[in-house]
Amino acid sequence: TVVVVGGGIGVAPVYPIARAYHELGNKVISIIGARDKDLVIWQDKMAAISDELILTTDNGSAGRKGFVTDPLREMLEAGEKLDLVLAIGPVIMMKNVAATTKPFGVKTTASLNTIMVDGTGMCGGCRVMVGGENKFACVDGPEFDAHEVDFANLVMRQQMYKDQEALEYSCGGHCKCVEE
């Protein structure tokens, strides 16, 4: 039994992985979530390759109200045997998925594909601490044992360019991060 957890646009990269597990004969439970119903993507595609699809939205506008970790926790607390949990989405979501599965000893993989910049490891933008070692998501991953990822460090690193990103978003993405 494989549980794939996709948050927001993380549903897109989790889809081919879930499809492959399904085609190999695994039971696939897909949990997808978004902040709001208008941000849910590929619900039908995920349903087609899943033995079970659970949809959550933060505000309850579609599926069940809550976070993707809520049904995951319920499965684990009910004693359902899960062989693998794979999470792709916002870093905070992956951190919470790892925290949910760790007490149950369930193998959990986080795909850190969203933190890549150049895909070669040269820029260092995708550097992450895994098991106490520096890794580069683009060349050493992007999939890592979620219980070994230093999510606190990763969150801090993602905040480094928060001001520049806000400036870029405020001008519609055309200002090249320079105030005029």
**141 domain-assigned:** no
Domain extent, residue 71, equals 2-111
Number of Cβ within 10 Å of residue 120's Cβ equals 11
- Flag whether 177 is in a domain: no
Of 4, 115, 122, which is closest to residue 130 (Cα–Cα)?
115
CATH of the domain at 77: 3.40.50.80
The Cα–Cα gap between 49 and 70 comes to 22
Q: Classify residue 122: in a domain, yes or no.
A: no
Sole residue written with tokens 């490891």 = 121
Over residues 115-172, the pLDDT tens digits come to: 677 777 788 888 899 999 999 998 999 999 999 999 999 998 888 778 877 887 777 6
> Which comes out higher in pLDDT, residue 4 or 121?
4
Query: Has residue 143 been placed in a domain?
Result: no
Q: Residue 128 domain-assigned?
A: no
Q: How many domains does the chain have?
A: 1
pLDDT of residue 18: 98
Mean pLDDT of 84-109: 97
Tell how far CA 142 is from the center of its chain. 11
Is 144 inside any structural domain?
Answer: no
What's the pLDDT tens digit per position in 31-84?
999 999 999 999 999 999 999 999 999 999 999 999 999 999 999 999 999 999
